A and B are shown apart, each in its own frame.
Chain A
Amino acid sequence: MKISFNREACQGHNRCYLLAPELFDVDDEGYAVLLVTGDVPEQLHAKAQLAVDNCPEYAITLTEENPPA
């Protein structure tokens, strides 16, 4: 599972930071900062999904791994 974050769409609602602080920090202005690159560790999948499902600006997306070719 890969996570990506669109900084342009982020308006600093801070929902991701509250729900998944292992995955998101906030900068000095309150905009989200994604802490992981690429794969989300298995134990954080549920939190990643929460961050996606609570972002009012749709700034976070999760994609399943590409199936093996």
Chain B
Amino acid sequence: MSGLERCPVTDWQTDFDHTAPEYAADAPAIWQELRETCPVAHTDRFGGTWLPTRHEDISAVAHDTEHFTSRGVIVSVFEPETPAPVGYAPPITSDPPFHQIARGLLLPAFAPKAIRPLEAPTRAFCSQLIDQILVDLPASGVVDVAEQYAQHIPVRVIAHMLGVPAEDGDRFRGFIHRILEMAGQNDEPVSAEDTMVHYIFTQIEKRRGEPSDDLIGFLLQAEIDGVPLTDEHIVGTIALILLAGIDTTWSAIGASIWYFAQHPQECARLIAQPELMPFAIEEMLRAFAPVTMARKVAQDVNLGGKQLLEGDWVLLPFPSANRDPEFFENPNEVILDREKNRHAAFGLGIHRCLGSNLARMELTVALEEWLAKVPEFELAEPEAVLWSTGQVRGPRKLPIRIPAAGTPRTAKGAT
């Protein structure tokens, strides 16, 4: 917790706080109540922030780049300094027309066929992690899968893509915690050498004059209209890939394991019917979408009957859109073979998550490997599960119990 005092929320319609632990713990119920009673909620916190909870309103904002700017995407008391249309972390903070140029540079590296070669090493890494967990398993059979499994997978994949040492992962998680989970709430001084920007500059300097085939090297050689990218652009984009690619995917992997730990029959069904996996993955993404994006109002506009003023923040809780009964049948029910699933876990409109194919691959591989080696598991202490606060929601503590030595399924029945 930060040392800053936080006023407790007494009314979610007029004084919500998406950074409050009680929001993190119970967000789906809060969204449902707001959808039914006050579908565009407001708070004076963070300088004035709106929270639409219906799919229709969230989709409208995500598709409207005229009235809403991406100049700010993390709601905090600090005003983003870098102006539109570039913003501080292109392309996520960029608006048209620059957005398309900055995004176009990165799209090929994240297209489905480009990320396919990452699947085998990701699978091998997941397998190693699980083997180690089983070797280290205490007599109680209890392990925190958020800490010991889920969080390591995207860290390794992103480090590989950026071309930085896998051991730097712990530092990444520190950056993420400060910048995303505790946005604007830090009161502890951070030394200059320990900042993400310093880390990224160090990595850039290493590659100057020494071309590398990783993403950092690619950005150093990239040009827009024959002009190399500015240092601010390169640093911002690397920061984006580092921040956006890790705790999001970690959250989705953790939330999926959390679900299956509580639904052994559905877990057994998925193991028995692996052809359900592509549908099950999308259903996990729908039901437990980790990411809430944000915009700033660029021009006064009406949204769901509320008048939004220039400069206001607007949160885009895609996971709430994914549970809107106007848009999905039985939205609170997890249906592994749901065939009609236009979920918005990766956003909507021009800012569709750049890393969605990577995230989907990681989630699929992480779950497949887990279920293959640990077909039976349960929550060890349901009340000990801790969900992250802020705009990325997922389990940060997830103790599960693996019964009787967690022997691989193939060994079952053997004597």
B348 close to chain A: CB less than 8 A: yes
Q: In the complex, what's the smallest C-beta–C-beta distance from B394 to chain A, in angstroms? A: 21
Q: Are A14 and B282 in contact (CB-based, < 8 A)?
A: no
In the complex, besides A14-B112, A27-B111, 4 extra interface pairs with C-beta distance below 8 angstroms are: A11-B352, A14-B356, A18-B278, A28-B111
Q: Are A30 and B357 in contact (CB-based, < 8 A)?
A: yes
A55 close to chain B: CB less than 8 A: yes
Q: Complex formed: what's the CA distance from A58 to B349 in Å?
A: 11
Within 8 A of B (CB), among A1-56: 11-15, 17-19, 26-30, 50, 53-56
Q: Are B112 and A15 in contact (CB-based, < 8 A)?
A: no
Q: Are A30 and B107 in contact (CB-based, < 8 A)?
A: yes
Q: Complex formed: what's the CA distance from A33 to B320 in Å?
A: 30
* Tally of chain B residues near chain A (CB < 8 A): 22
What chain B residues lie within 8 Å of A55 (beta carbons)? Answer: 342
Q: List 21 A-B contacts (CB under 8 A).
A: A12-B111, A14-B356, A14-B357, A15-B282, A26-B112, A27-B111, A28-B108, A28-B111, A29-B104, A29-B107, A29-B111, A30-B107, A30-B108, A30-B110, A30-B112, A53-B341, A53-B342, A54-B339, A54-B340, A54-B341, A57-B348
B350 close to chain A: CB less than 8 A: yes
Q: Are B113 and A26 in contact (CB-based, < 8 A)?
A: yes
Which A-chain residue is minimally distant from B357 (CB atoms)? A14
B344 close to chain A: CB less than 8 A: yes
Q: In the complex, what's the smallest C-beta–C-beta distance from B91 to chain A, in angstroms? A: 13
What chain A residues lie within 8 Å of B340 (beta carbons)? Answer: 53-54
B295 close to chain A: CB less than 8 A: no
Query: Which residues of A does B touch, CB under 8 Å?
Result: 11-15, 17-19, 26-30, 50, 53-58
What chain A residues lie within 8 Å of B344 (beta carbons)? Answer: 56
What chain B residues lie within 8 Å of A12 (beta carbons)? Answer: 107, 111, 352, 356
Within 8 A of A (CB), among B98-144: 104, 107-108, 110-113
Q: In the complex, what's the smallest C-beta–C-beta distance from B368 to chain A, in angstroms? A: 15
Leading 8 A-B pairs by shortest Cβ distance: A30-B111, A29-B107, A11-B352, A53-B340, A56-B342, A28-B108, A54-B341, A14-B112
Q: In the complex, what's the smallest C-beta–C-beta distance from A66 to chain B, in angstroms? A: 26
B343 close to chain A: CB less than 8 A: yes
What chain B residues lie within 8 Å of A11 (beta carbons)? Answer: 348-350, 352
Q: In the complex, what's the smallest C-beta–C-beta distance from B117 to chain A, in angstroms? A: 15
Q: In the complex, what's the smallest C-beta–C-beta distance from A21 to chain B, in angstroms? A: 10
B23 close to chain A: CB less than 8 A: no
The answer to whether A50 and B112 touch (CB under 8 A), given A18-B278, A57-B348, is no
Q: In the complex, what's the smallest C-beta–C-beta distance from B331 to chain A, in angstroms? A: 15
Which A-chain residue is minimally distant from B110 (CB atoms)? A30
Q: Are A50 and B107 in contact (CB-based, < 8 A)?
A: no
Within 8 A of A (CB), among B329-365: 339-344, 346, 348-350, 352, 356-357
Q: Are A13 and B346 in contact (CB-based, < 8 A)?
A: yes
What chain B residues lie within 8 Å of A18 (beta carbons)? Answer: 278
Which B-chain residue is minimally distant from A28 (CB atoms)? B108
What chain B residues lie within 8 Å of A13 (beta carbons)? Answer: 346, 352, 356
What chain A residues lie within 8 Å of B346 (beta carbons)? Answer: 13, 56
Q: Are B339 and A50 in contact (CB-based, < 8 A)?
A: yes
Q: Are A56 and B348 in contact (CB-based, < 8 A)?
A: yes
Within 8 A of A (CB), among B255-295: 278, 282
What chain A residues lie within 8 Å of B356 (beta carbons)? Answer: 12-14
Q: Complex formed: what's the CA distance from A46 to B262 in Å?
A: 32
Q: In the complex, what's the smallest C-beta–C-beta distance from B58 to chain A, in angstroms? A: 12
Q: In the complex, what's the smallest C-beta–C-beta distance from A42 to chain B, in angstroms? A: 19
Which A-chain residue is minimally distant from B111 (CB atoms)? A30
Q: In the complex, what's the smallest C-beta–C-beta distance from A30 to chain B, in angstroms? A: 4
